[in-house]
Every structure is written in structure tokens, then in C-alpha cells.
Amino acid sequence: MRQEDIWDVETAERYDTPGRGVFAAEVVEPAVARLAALAGGGRVLEFAIGTGRVAVPLAARGISVTGIELSRPMLAKLHEKADIPVVVGDMATATAPGRYSLVYLVYNTIGNLLTQDEQVECFRNAARHLDPGGRFVIELGVPELRRLPPGQDAVVFGAESGYLGVDTYDTVRQHLVSHHFRFGDGREARLGRCPQRYIWPAELDLMGRLAGFELESRHADWAGAEFTAKSPSHVSVYRLPGR
């Protein structure tokens, strides 16, 4: 399944949930505050900017934000909300004009690149866009392999009225596919699927090193909570040498 087919008009229409889920103020505001602080008044580039969930409120603070994004339908939704310049292309290879003090890639989206090579290229592409001393911030889940009982390759991650979420794992390729089943009272169900390559924090750090970064900090959330063995996700800040 290609990313262009996943992030189509239908997905773009359903993506924004103003005030709820990942669009809730308590989710978005700490991310925007931390990114604004890390930008230090410089220009900012979001890889896989989507409909601008984070970029729109960041730009509303007066910060200069640019994006790279593969999906034109997602971009169309962004441009209904704000006039943010975006280069249409692959975040592993596309070039946005100029240099930036901060590049960021949130909401587990580095996993949408399905090979290790592409993920390393994504780090290298971030480095190419940054000023000396610039930062690359990644928000990513910790792989949940400990939830897989022996002999089982699938885990239910969500079950509520009208919705079932199931992750299936291919531990050899280091892939998982998130399946989202939505249904009503009848026999019909709608299935959305999102394949990802999951990454351990240590592998992510090595990707950073290959691209010339050092890990500057890792926290469990945007507000700076300590990252522990129990943390389900992390916000990791990588920094280039210089300045």
C-alpha cells in the first residue's frame, strides 16, 4: 500500500477532529510550546506537515513555518486553514528552500517510511536543511512488542463502540500494520490500514549519528516528563554540531 493511497481525499476529509483526540488543546499546546522554544526565533520546517495540526498554531505564534508533504489532499485541508508554504514531496529526499533552526517530525510519522534506508535518509535530509547547531525533533512511540504473547502476531490496541483497532506484526521485517475497523449496527465495516516500520530508541539514535547528529534530550512527552522503561512514546531532540 502506497502512502499516497492511504492519505487520500477521504482520509484528509476525516483527519481533523478540532478540539478532540490528537487535536485536543492539551495534546497540541505543549508540543507547540516546546517546538517554539526549541526554534529560538529561527525558521522551522515540518516533515509530513499533513493538515497542519501542529504547524498552524505554531505559525500563529509568528514563527516562520514551512512544510514538506506527500499528500495533496492533506495539503488542501491545510491551505483551507493557513497560508503556509509547502513543498510536495517525500520527506526523505525533497528539498525546501533555505536553512532552518529546527526540523520536526511528529506523531510517529518516521515509521511511515518502510525501510531502514529511507529512515536514515530522512535524518540526512533533516541535517541538510539545518543551520549549524540546528535541531531535529522526533515524536515516536516505543514498539510494543512486549504486548505480543508467544506465538501471537496481533494485538488489539483499541476497542470501543463502533471501532476496533488491531496491530499485526512482522517481526522479521520490523513492520507493523495498524488496522482500523469502523462499523455501525449492520454487517458493513470500513477498514483503514497504515503500515509502519517500528524503531527502537537506540536504533533511532544510531540513525541520528549516521546523519551527524547527537541526541540532546529524550523525554516521555512534550512537557519534559522523564523517559522511563514504562514510557509508551518519546520526544527526542537531535542536534548538529556548531554554534
Ligand X SMILES: C[S@@+](CC[C@H](N)C(=O)[O-])C[C@H]1O[C@@H](n2cnc3c(N)ncnc32)[C@H](O)[C@@H]1O
State which residue, 85 or 184, has the beta carbon closest to ligand X. Answer: 85
State which residue, 56 or 150, has the beta carbon closest to ligand X. Answer: 56
- What type of residue is 23? F
- Per-residue string for binding with ligand X, 85-124, x by CB under 6 A? -----xxx-------------xx-x--xx-----------
- Distance, CA of 187 to CA of 238 (rounded, Å): 48
Contact flag: residue 71 with ligand X (CB under 6 A): yes
Q: What is the DSSP string of 148-204?
A: S-TT--EEEEEEETTEEEEEEEETTTTEEEEEEEEE-SSS-EEEEEEEEE---HHHH
CA angle 221, 222, 225 (to 5 degrees): 45
Contact flag: residue 68 with ligand X (CB under 6 A): yes
Q: What is the DSSP letter of 226?
A: B
- For residue 53, the surrounding DSSP H or E stretch is none
HSE at residue 225, side-chain half, CA atoms within 13 A, is 12
State which residue, 148 or 182, has the beta carbon closest to ligand X. Answer: 182
Contact flag: residue 138 with ligand X (CB under 6 A): no
**Minimum CB separation from ligand X for residue 118, in Å?**
7
Contact flag: residue 125 with ligand X (CB under 6 A): no
Q: Which residues contact 11 (CB under 8 A, 6 or more apart)?
A: 73, 74, 192
Query: Which of 35, 38, 44, 54 forms a contact with ligand X (CB under 6 A)?
Result: 54
State which residue, 101 or 112, has the beta carbon closest to ligand X. Answer: 112
CA angle 76, 82, 85 (to 5 degrees): 75
CA distances from 86 to 47, 89, 90 (A): 10, 9, 12
Contact flag: residue 135 with ligand X (CB under 6 A): no
Query: Which of 32, 65, 74, 103 forms a contact with ligand X (CB under 6 A)?
Result: 74
**Minimum CB separation from ligand X for residue 112, in Å?**
4
3-state secondary structure of 109: helix
Contact flag: residue 77 with ligand X (CB under 6 A): no
Contact flag: residue 169 with ligand X (CB under 6 A): no
* Inter-residue contact 127 to 240 (CB < 8 Å): yes
State which residue, 87 or 155, has the beta carbon closest to ligand X. Answer: 87
- Per-residue string for binding with ligand X, 5-34, x by CB under 6 A? --x---------------------------
Q: Which residues contact 98 (CB under 8 A, 6 or more apart)?
A: 43, 66
**Minimum CB separation from ligand X for residue 202, in Å?**
23
Contact flag: residue 176 with ligand X (CB under 6 A): no
Contact residues for ligand X (CB under 6 A)?
Answer: 3, 7, 48-50, 53-54, 68-71, 74, 90-92, 106-107, 109, 112-113
